[in-house]
Amino acid sequence: MSAKIISGKEIAQQIREELKKEVEEMKASYGITPGLVTILVGENPASVSYVTAKQRTAHELGFYSVQDNQPEDISEEALLELIDKYNKDEKIHGILVQLPLPKHIDESKVIYAIDPNKDVDGFHPVNVGKMVIGEPCFLPCTPHGILEMLIRSGIETSGAEVVVVGRSNIVGKPIANLMLQKREGGNATVTICHTRTKDMAFHTKRADILIVAAGRPKVITADMVKEGVVVIDVGVNRIGKTPEGKAILCGDVDFDAVKEKASAITPVPGGVGPMTITMLMKNTVQAARQTIEKS
C-alpha cells in the first residue's frame, strides 16, 4: 500500500480562504480588523522563520499585524512590560511570544502575563484548564491544526487507538487530551509515549492513528507501525542546508519507508506546519470576534 498524502498545505489554504472572507465581513460590518502581534526575542533561525511565516500569513488575510523584534538580552521585566502594553492595546486582539525564550527569562511568567482573552497560542493556564474540561477557549494551534486535518480528511477518530509520541505542553499533552474528549475529532482511546516509555514499538504498532512530536529526526521507522496506520508527523528537524543556504527539513518519521505501510501520512514540510499557522489566524479572528460580542 502507498499512503494517501494528507496535504496540510492544501487544507490550510481552504481554511485561509474562509478566514479571508470572515475578515472582510468583520471589517465591513463592524469596522474591526483582527490585530496580531508576534514578539520575537533574539535571532534563533527556526524562530525567525516561523515568525516570518506567521506575519506573512496575517498580512495576506488582511490583519493588522505587528512584528516586534527584541534583542536576546532583553530583561524579563522589560518583556513583561511589553506584553502589558499589548494587553492594553485595543488594536491588538492576539499576542504571540515565540518560544523558546533565552534562559534568563522564565517562560511560564511570560505566558501568565498574557491576557487570556488575547492568548491566541492557547498556552495560558486559564485556556489550558478550559480546554481540559471542554469549555470554549483558544485551542493550542498545532493540536487544533491536527484535529482539523483529521476531520477534513474524513479520518474516523471515534473508537480509534491513538498513540501520541511526545509529552510537551505545546503538542503531546494537548493533542492527547483533545482526542479523548467527546467531540468531533475525538472519542479515541489514547496512549502517550515519551522518553521513559519502556517499549515504544509495542505501543506504536497498535496505533490506528499515530501522532509523532518527538523532536528527533526519523525516530519512527517502518517496523514500528502497522499496515494501514494514519500518521501525523509534527517534527520539523533541520538536517542540513542546500548550497543556496536554505534549510533541509525532515520529520520525526521515516517518511519514505513508512508511507509504504500507512493508509495516510502527512509530509514534512507541507503537513502540520501550515495548519499550525492557520489555526493561529483562526484564533486571532475568534479573539477579534469576542471583542465585538462584548461591546
Interface ranges with ligand GUN (CB under 6 A): 96-99, 121, 141-142, 170, 276
Burial of residue 197 (CB within 10 Å: 0-12, 13-18, 19+) is middle
Distances (CA, A) of 272 to 7, 9, 43, 217: 9, 8, 23, 15
Q: How far apart are CA 76 and CA 216, in angstroms?
A: 30
* Residue 98 is a catalytic residue: yes
Q: Is 70 a catalytic residue?
A: no
CB of 65 to ligand GUN, least distance (A): 15
Distance of closest approach, residue 232 Cβ to ligand GUN, in angstroms:
15
Q: How many CA atoms lie within 13 A of 94 on its CB side?
A: 33
d(CA 248, CA 267): 13
Q: Of these residues, 121, 208, 233, 254, which one is catalytic?
A: 121
How many other C-beta atoms can be found within 10 angstroms of the C-beta atom of residue 155?
A: 18
Q: Kindly name the residue from 98, 218, 233, 254 that is annotated as catalytic.
A: 98
Q: Report, in Å, the least distance between residue 136 CB and ligand GUN.
A: 20
Residue whose CB is nearest to ligand GUN in the complex, by number:
99
CB of 141 to ligand GUN, least distance (A): 5
Maximum distance among all alpha carbons in the chain? Answer: 57
Q: Which is nearer to ligand GUN, 15 or 160 (CB)?
A: 15
CA distance 239 to 264: 24
Distance in angstroms (rounded) separating the CA atoms of residues 294 and 260: 51
Residue 119 or 208: the one with the smaller Cβ distance to ligand GUN is: 119
Our CB check for ligand GUN shows the closer of 235 and 261 to be 235
Helix, strand and coil in the chain, % to nearest 5:
45, 15, 40
DSSP 141-152: HHHHHHHHHHHH
- Residue closer to ligand GUN, measured from CB, 49 or 189: 49
Q: Please say which residue, 127 or 142, places its beta carbon nearer to ligand GUN.
A: 142
- Nearest distance, CB of residue 111 and ligand GUN, angstroms: 9
Residue 121 among the catalytic residues:
yes
Instruction: Quickly tell me which residue has 496512549 as its cell.
Output: 191
Our CB check for ligand GUN shows the closer of 141 and 210 to be 141
Distance of closest approach, residue 159 Cβ to ligand GUN, in angstroms? 29
- Residues in the chain, how many? 295
Residues annotated catalytic, as ranges: 54, 98, 121
